[in-house]
């Protein structure tokens, strides 16, 4: 089963499964977008749109996702902001280099099969000085996590990878500087990370 198929099945239940647990962490992450000005912001892998109620008006948002059923639910929300929904693969974004001022990657870097490509595609479409807000679950360098690595053999095909070491991903994407990295959920398994493009 591909991720697109499994997220089509998960879509009706996604908000009940993820919404409450992630509410505070996603609100805090999105509060780091600038409060002033008119930026162009990429919401990469928007899912059902749980981020939308937390977005600051005034910016122009482009929300992408691979799964029509997830994107359809996001489209159905009425967030009162300027937003365009685009069905697109995070590993091959249909935007020109340097198109965006900021990018939001909530629960997508560790979901896709190739996190390095997901982050490097995001970096490509960002302007110099642009920021990336990441919220996701990552292992620490050298962390054994045998249960998560065992579960990953199945979960990577139906929902998410559980074996991604963020430091290994960042090392392979030149041009992104780590600005902050905070533990937010599940004893630090989930982290809120801010990067800036040089
Ligand atoms: C765990 S959900 C996260 C959704 C949302 N960002 C959130 O924070 O709730 C992962 C999302 O990634 C999407 N997805 C999976 N693979 C993708 C890909 N290659 N490109 C774009 N979206 C993808 C799925 O359809 C799903 O909506």
pLDDT (tens digit per residue) in 46-76: 999 999 999 999 999 999 999 999 999 999 9
Q: Give the number of the atom of ligand 1 that is nearest the alpha carbon of residue 135.
A: 8
CATH number of residue 193's parent domain:
3.40.50.150
> What is the C-alpha to C-alpha distance for residues 44 and 70, in angstroms, rounded to an integer?
13
In angstroms, what is the span from residue 7 Cα to ligand 1's centroid?
8
Q: What's the structural domain count of the chain? A: 1
pLDDT (tens digit per residue) in 164-187: 999 999 999 999 999 999 999 999
pLDDT (tens digit per residue) in 108-127: 999 999 999 999 999 999 99
- 162 Cβ closer than 6 Å to some ligand 1 atom: no
Average pLDDT, the chain: 97
Q: Give the number of the atom of ligand 1 that is nearest the alpha carbon of residue 18.
A: 9
Q: Which residues pair with 190 in a beta bridge?
A: 137, 185
Range of the domain at 53: 3-197
pLDDT (tens digit per residue) in 37-53: 999 999 999 999 999 99
Asked if pLDDT for residue 136 goes beyond 80, the answer is yes
**pTM, 2 dp:** 0.97
- Residues 127-161: b if buried by 16+ CB within 10 A, e if exposed: eeebbbbbbbbbbeeeeeeeebeeebeebbeeebb
């Amino acid at each position: 089963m591909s991720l697109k198929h499994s997220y089509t099945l998960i879509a009706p239940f996604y908000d009940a499964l993820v919404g409450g647990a992630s509410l505070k962490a996603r609100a805090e992450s999105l509060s780091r977008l600038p409060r002033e000005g008119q930026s162009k912001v990429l919401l990469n892998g928007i899912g059902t749109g749980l981020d939308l109620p937390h977005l600051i008006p005034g910016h122009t948002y482009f929300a992408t996702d691979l799964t029509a059923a997830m994107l359809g639910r996001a489209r159905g929300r009425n967030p009162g902001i300027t937003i365009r929904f685009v069905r697109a693969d995070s590993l091959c974004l249909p935007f020109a280099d340097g198109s965006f001022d900021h990018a939001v990657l909530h629960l997508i870097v560790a979901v896709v099969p190739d996190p390095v490509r997901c982050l490097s595609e995001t970096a490509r479409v960002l302007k110099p000085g642009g920021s990336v807000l990441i919220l996701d679950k990552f292992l620490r360098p050298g962390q054994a996590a045998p249960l998560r690595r065992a579960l990953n053999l199945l979960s990577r095909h139906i929902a998410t990878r559980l074996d991604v070491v963020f430091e290994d991903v960042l090392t392979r994407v030149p041009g992104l500087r780590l600005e902050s990295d905070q533990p937010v959920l599940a004893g630090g398994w989930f982290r809120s990370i801010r990067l800036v493009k040089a």
